[in-house]
Structure 1
Amino acid sequence: MRIITGAAGAAAVILTLTGATDGTNWAAALRQDAQAFHADIAANHPGVTDVANPQFAGQNDRELALAMRRADQTLDFAGYWFAMRAYAAAFDDGHLDFGGARDKKLPQLITRWPGFLTSFAYDGRQRVVTRATSSPLPLGAELIDCDGKTADALAAANVGEFSGRWFLAATRMQEGGRLFVDEGNPWVSRPATCTFQVGSRRTRVKLTWTPIGPAERDRQLARTFSRAAEPIGMRTLPDGTVWLTLSDFKADPQGPAAKALVPLIAHLTAAPEVLRDAPAIVLDLRGNHGGSSDWSRQLARLVWGKAAVDAVNLGSDGVEWRASRANIATLKEYAAALDASSTSSPEMRSWLRETITGMESALAAGKAMWSNVSAPEVSSSPAVPAPVIRRSVLMITDPGCGSACLDAADLWLALGAVHVGQETSADTIYMDARKDALPSGFGRAIVPMKVYRGRKRGSNVPLIPTYVFRDSLADTPRLERRVQAVIHEIRDRAS
């Protein structure tokens, strides 16, 4: 059972925050926070004691050493921020992250751009997707190289090093639009002259970097990657297809996801004929970053039945938790929040109590890890085929699907869902992240607490749809028509 996620997109968090921090010694802040980040990972991350990953602890040491060397050259907030971003990104793990403090205003990064932004298309090429009227480049111009670096190498160095997981198409599509946003990062070289393919000819352009305000920057960046995130709910299409919009699985029992999912699940539980009699069901995960896997299991039982869901074996050999005082305290806080609400399943409450007790026993015995082979995501039953159902069940994903969104996709695919949309993001086998304020007060660490053993999908492996839609999924009416075409194709093949 996955209950807590990391902070996807943490790099964007600080960009809309402002505040005066005159007189801050950013070199000292970097040294202080890098050491605290290192200590947090060493004390609480399962990778440090994971016998299957003997390089992990050494990498943590190397990234600290790099951050400390960079501190010797750090003069401003940008130096601090991007050094810490690089520290976290080096692990290529969406659950191990660094982000801005929640309760403190941060300095605004001074942002410049050359009058256009590019983005990664589904074919992997980088093209101009938004521009100022004065830009010499038209929309669609393809980036070839800058200052002797290929387009791919430049993006990997200037963006990928600070976002991590650059080998994933989903990451490149989501973050690639930042290539021509200059935020004062002192650890990269800002491009000066670039070559573009414009129609049948190549054009060299000397870039003129000019300031761009926060609101305009955000508006332009939004054009580099559009992702729908419609409100959680249910609607019925004209042909009777039931469309469930599931854009959030956050675990907070008092949060908006729980407040929308609880009544939706209650309604479907009280009226099982809604799903039973539907000619097709669509499970729309667009906009979903993850959260708690409990939601997807509850929904799966409504669609496929409890027996079918409980029989699914996703290949796990269990989970191991890093038995630390801080991790136990985090789980106890979450357990208290669940006890004060009625939004989670009894199964989840029982599992959480078992996990806390097991970790406390391991800690008392001087053990670094506690192994839980009875976690709900693990089934000791042999794998069985999904039940034969007369209706089609389609699942839609986009490149932002990660964490518990991937847990949902794994489960629903095993039960027979047909995957449409776009390639997902991916996650490692380190999960359930705790969040800790760092000493300077400007940043926070996000650190996983458990390791998942034997998952069939593997580590950092995305899911690729059977029916791939290569352009934007943000136009819902158009997407509905495309999904219904797939449903008709499936019916035709079955008849």
Structure 2
Amino acid sequence: MVIYILRGKATFHQIGARACKNESLARRLILRGLKCCFLLLGALHIPSNAADPNYSAIALSDLARAKQVILDAHPAVALKTDQAFNDWFIQGYDEAMKLAMRAANQAQALAAVRYYISGFRDGHVAVWDPNAPSKAMWAGWTAQLRSGEWRVVHAASKWPTSLPEKGAMLIACDGLKPFEYIDTYIAPFVDRRTELGSVLDRLALLLSNRIPRDSIWEAETPRTCTFESNGKTIEHHLDWKNSDEGTSFLNVQQPRIGVESWGENRYWIYAQQFLPARLAEDELENAISAIQIIPEKAEVVVFDARGNNGGSSLFGYQLLAALMRRDTPTIDSGAQAWWRPSRISVDWFDRLARDELVRTGPKSIRYKKILEMKNFLKEAHEKSGPSVLVADSAIEGSQYPPPPDGNSFKGRVVLLTDKHCASACLDFSDLVLAVPGSLHVGESTSSDSDYLDITVVDLPSGLQMAVPQKVWIGRGRKANEPLIPEHIFSGDIYDTPSLRAWMEPLL
């Protein structure tokens, strides 16, 4: 059952599955909603003060454009068989419109649009503000889920009010258990895939941090949270201040793509970044050259994908091909990628081709593949229009270039992942794990849907939106299915010395 309530004069909220299982909670929320229903007519009033931005009109305009972009470019529209997508396309838009009509500030205008977008439960459908301010708000503590319990992992050394100590267990916020609060007031505006560890980490930050890029409807909530520490239960009132300390301590400095020796006859390949714009000049090429000269007597090679959350699948293939040469695995033979040749996609690949030409020149492999794809989609668009999906097997040549000549690596290949591995990182993982005798260690990955390869579109207010352009059919890894390591590391995944010591007996 799905319940919608009015919280104060603010908005509608969808109660998540976990919350609805709690009968007393559901009854309490329903009663709260009934008490507030008389506010509905006033709540739907759109401000007309010309001196202030009409955030409701801004949100409605962005929302309408977002729906049109999905209609024009998303492969599911042409596929016509994804019932969950089709249902939310209509239902979600109606619900988001009710929110948009109530938007009273910039954060709520963004939250209303993201309420619609998050309902597709797909990391490749997203909306963000490229000009969002960097300054965050913090309540003085940050909690994360650790071994099934919500624990304070960081607390300010000085704060105007009392704070829970590091290690304290979070019990509830504003009367709701952490999972219930996240499902009700945070996930609908950010990411509803709370079954994924990486998503839950991100949502948990918003219990006590207000991050402009992740706007939710109500800024300074929750108001009180209850903690247990040293056998005592203590309620703390949250005092929100301008500060980014609540998230900055989590930033981990990632090494550049490259190779280093790790003990005798073992090598460690850093594969943390597949985003072209974030790679230094010649960084990928230098890494490929270093991999190609790994000695034949090497016994173990580790591909370290910690911190990699996607980018260009071509980069991952090139790293693996530099090692495996003629024995480089191919993409799942039973899978087929189908593209929607929309005008939006043609324009996107035209832009990518121009940018890549400037960045790497006309001889680069990536530029040639982008240009090939642009011409393929343009021809398909002109021939059949955007309503017919086209298979990328129709493209002349392979999706990836031939692997380099030379002897293949004969030792053991190890894949190391964390919970943030998604999109192109998952494509890379699929290839590495297709190497005979490969070993997967670390944390379970994130996951993605069958819809991939995004295009980016501007919305009327200046927000930007991502929408996928292709759909996999027959892929071995199912939609929204993470990859689970054979050996799971339970410590700090970014503590490399401890991680390597743990890996020693596994090799």
Deviations 1:106-128 (A, max 9, x none): 45777241x3221122x232111
Q: Distance in 1 between matches of 2:142 and 2:248?
A: 10
Q: Distance in 2 between matches of 1:343 and 1:237?
A: 37
Q: Tell whether the 8 Å contact from 1:229 to 1:288 is kept in structure 2 after alignment.
A: no
Q: Distance in 1 between matches of 2:77 and 2:309?
A: 26
Structure 2: any 5+ residue segments left out of the alignment?
1-50, 401-406
Deviations 1:384-433 (A, max 9, x none): xxx99752221111111111001011110111421111111111111111
Deviations 1:28-79 (A, max 9, x none): 2111111111111111111122233134244123332223211221111121
Match among 100, 116, 120 for residue 71 of structure 1 = 100
Deviations 1:311-370 (A, max 9, x none): xx5254311111211211212332344455359875983585256325523542344321
Q: 1:107 to 1:174 in 2, by over 3 A?
A: closer
Q: 1:185 to 1:54 in 2, by over 3 A?
A: closer
Partner of 1:320: 338
Q: Distance in 2 between matches of 1:374 and 1:166?
A: 38
Partner of 1:11: none
SS at structure 2 position matched to 1:64: helix
Q: Would you say 1:434 and 2:452 are equivalent positions?
A: no
Report how far residue 308 of structure 1 moved. Answer: 4.1
Partner of 1:425: 446
Q: Would you say 1:349 and 2:368 are equivalent positions?
A: yes
Amino acid at match of 1:129: V
SS at structure 2 position matched to 1:305: helix
Partner of 1:147: 174
**Residues 182-201 of structure 1: matches in 2 within 5 Å?**
182=210, 185-186=216-217, 190-201=221-232
Partner of 2:263: 238
SS at structure 2 position matched to 1:309: coil
Q: Would you say 1:167 and 2:198 are equivalent positions?
A: no
Partner of 1:4: none
Deviations 1:203-258 (A, max 9, x none): 14041323133xxx2x32134x5555222211112323211111101245xx5256
Partner of 1:484: 504
**Residues 90-489 of structure 1: matches in 2 within 5 Å?**
90-101=119-130, 105-106=131-132, 111-113=137-139, 115-121=140-146, 123-133=147-157, 135-164=162-191, 165-182=193-210, 185-186=216-217, 190-201=221-232, 203-213=233-243, 217=244, 219-223=245-249, 225=250, 227=252, 229-252=254-277, 256=279, 259-269=282-292, 271=293, 274-310=294-330, 313-314=331-332, 316-339=334-357, 341=360, 346=365, 349=368, 353=372, 356-357=375-376, 360-366=379-385, 367-373=387-393, 376=398, 391-415=411-435, 416-441=437-462, 443-487=463-507
Report how far residue 131 of structure 1 moved. Answer: 1.2
Q: Distance in 2 between matches of 1:175 and 1:240?
A: 42
SS at structure 1 position matched to 2:323: helix
Q: 1:110 to 1:293 in 2, by over 3 A?
A: closer
Q: Distance in 2 between matches of 1:451 and 1:195?
A: 45
Q: Distance in 1 between matches of 2:267 and 2:353?
A: 34
Q: Tell whether the 8 Å contact from 2:261 to 2:268 is kept in structure 1 after alignment.
A: yes
Amino acid at match of 1:476: T
Q: 1:402 to 1:175 in 2, by over 3 A?
A: same
Q: 1:275 to 1:322 in 2, by over 3 A?
A: farther
Q: Distance in 2 between matches of 1:188 and 1:316?
A: 48
Report how far residue 260 of structure 1 moved. Answer: 0.7
Q: 1:357 to 1:374 in 2, by over 3 A?
A: closer
Q: Distance in 2 between matches of 1:189 and 1:155?
A: 14
Aligned length: 440
TM-score (structure 1 length as normaliser): 0.80
Q: 1:345 to 1:304 in 2, by over 3 A?
A: farther
Amino acid at match of 2:325: G
Q: Tell whether the 8 Å contact from 1:275 to 1:303 is kept in structure 2 after alignment.
A: no
Q: Tell whether the 8 Å contact from 2:442 to 2:485 is kept in structure 1 after alignment.
A: yes
SS at structure 1 position matched to 2:501: helix
Q: Tell whether the 8 Å contact from 1:95 to 1:447 is kept in structure 2 after alignment.
A: yes
Identity of aligned residues (%): 26
SS at structure 1 position matched to 2:56: helix
Q: Distance in 2 between matches of 1:236 and 1:482?
A: 17
Q: Distance in 2 between matches of 1:407 and 1:258?
A: 24
SS at structure 1 position matched to 2:282: helix
Q: 1:46 to 1:344 in 2, by over 3 A?
A: farther
SS at structure 2 position matched to 1:149: coil
Q: Distance in 2 between matches of 1:50 and 1:132?
A: 51
SS at structure 1 position matched to 2:329: helix
Q: 1:343 to 1:95 in 2, by over 3 A?
A: farther
Which structure has more relative contact order (CA 8 Å, sep 6+)? It is 1
Q: Distance in 2 between matches of 1:33 and 1:190?
A: 26
Q: 1:197 to 1:449 in 2, by over 3 A?
A: same
**CA RMSD, aligned part only?**
2.9
Structure 1: any 5+ residue segments left out of the alignment?
1-21, 379-386, 488-495
Match among 84, 89, 102 for residue 113 of structure 2 = 84
Q: Tell whether the 8 Å contact from 1:421 to 1:468 is kept in structure 2 after alignment.
A: yes
Q: Distance in 2 between matches of 1:198 and 1:344?
A: 61
